[in-house]
Amino acid sequence: MNFSKLQPLGWSNYFLQQMALADTLTENGPQPFRISAIYRSRIDAIGEDGEQTLMCPDHFLPVSQHIAVGDWVLARKRHEHLYIENILMAKNRIERYSGHEHQLIAANLDYLWIVTSANEDFNLKRLQRYLALAYEFSVEPVVILTKTDLGNKEAYLKQIRSLSISEVHGVCAHQVETLAPLSAYFHPGNTIALVGSSGVGKSTLVNLVSKGEQLTREIRSDDGKGKHTTTSRQLFFSEQQVAFIDTPGMRELQLPGAMEGIRQVFAEIDALAHECKFSDCRHDEEPGCAVQAAITNGSLSEEQFASYQKLLKEDAFLQRRDAGTYAMKQQQRAFAKMVNSHKKEKW
């Protein structure tokens, strides 16, 4: 195996260690591949010798719940086909609830680009959800405001900066110079996933910065809403050896067990809660409630507090409904943290 060929694809010691632990570093052992696309009846991946199609055994079905684009897997050739044998533990994975199940979005990310456009589509509450997603799954969020030719850029940026996020950029597809600051995220071997509503310009942006050819389509001019053009998650590499994962626009984002992430988005409320007289204060009508006091003196807006409560309530509901999966996920995260702390360097 030539691991140096895998490094530009995002391979690192973290994965090599897992192969060693599982005793799969042998001459005739399985080979590592990075999942690049998952279709209804096909899984594409990239390995040492380029693109391959992988077969998925029944115990990893449904695929969307077991394997994410960006995952590393080990596969072995049998009867002319490559069969997936193991899914290597990811550094991180983001997922959401869709319908009644959790759905993997992308894995092994360095940055989550949360894309939103400077027009009527802009929604601060939705941004808070995306931020909670990033924090919960330990991926650094970057908010990118697109289509700055269409709206008051500074007014939108000011709203975004009111959230607990430092990495914010405004870009316009027709002014390439606005894209220059984004190159700060382009380190060889890095992976960046783009998420956001349909039509905000994710594929356009990724085309421009990677010089690739992802499909985009005309937007309906009357209501500014996009058509669903990107239909599946896809990973591809830019000239700078950065992996981009373009995703189809999400109509709604339901958070899966993201309490820690939500708390981080609303850090100021969390800090206030520590000042409440009772440690189990529900910030309702209890005496000595610092949160209610802040609302009364105007330092915390009622709307902000309502968003926080709404997200936590939704989160608690989903967690109760899905207690088993949640416990398993916590365990996996603890394991990933442990392995990470043993090996900090990239490769």
* Interacting residue with ligand GTP among 10, 47, 199, 256 (CB under 6 A): 199
Quick one: 5 or 277, whose CB is closer to Zn ion?
A: 277
Applying CB under 6 A, the site for ligand GTP has a residue count of: 24
* Interacting residue with ligand GTP among 31, 36, 92, 216 (CB under 6 A): 216
Angstrom CA distances, 114 to 86, 141, 230, stand at 30, 7, 16
123: nearest Cα among 150, 152, 160: 160
The answer to whether 29 touches 41, Cβ cutoff 8 Å, is no
Q: Is 148 annotated as a binding residue?
A: yes
Q: Is 172 annotated as a binding residue?
A: no
Q: Is 200 annotated as a binding residue?
A: yes
Quick one: 63 or 194, whose CB is closer to ligand GTP?
A: 194
Binding residues for ligand GTP restricted to 138-177, rule: CB under 6 A: 146-147, 149-150, 172-174
Binding residues for ligand GTP restricted to 303-342, rule: CB under 6 A: none
Q: Is 301 annotated as a binding residue?
A: no
Binding residues for Mg ion restricted to 219-238, rule: CB under 5 A: 229-230
Question: Whole-number minimum distance, CB 250 to ligand GTP, in Å?
Answer: 8
* Interacting residue with ligand GTP among 202, 233, 263, 283 (CB under 6 A): 202
Quick one: 82 or 243, whose CB is closer to ligand GTP?
A: 243
Question: Whole-number minimum distance, CB 45 to ligand GTP, in Å?
Answer: 22
Q: Is 209 annotated as a binding residue?
A: no
Quick one: 8 or 248, whose CB is closer to ligand GTP?
A: 248
**Which range in 20-28, 98-106, 196-204, 322-330 contacts Mg ion by CB under 5 A?**
196-204
Query: Per CB under 6 A, does 234 bind ligand GTP?
Result: no
Query: Tokens in use for 23?
Result: 């005793």
Quick one: 40 or 174, whose CB is closer to ligand GTP?
A: 174
* Distance (Å, whole) CA 236 – CA 245: 7
228: nearest Cα among 242, 210, 247, 209: 247
Residue ranges of the binding site for GTP: 146-149, 196-204
Which residues form the interface with ligand GTP (CB under 6 A)? 146-147, 149-150, 172-174, 198-204, 216-219, 226, 228-230, 248-249
Which residues form the interface with Mg ion (CB under 5 A)? 202-203, 229-230
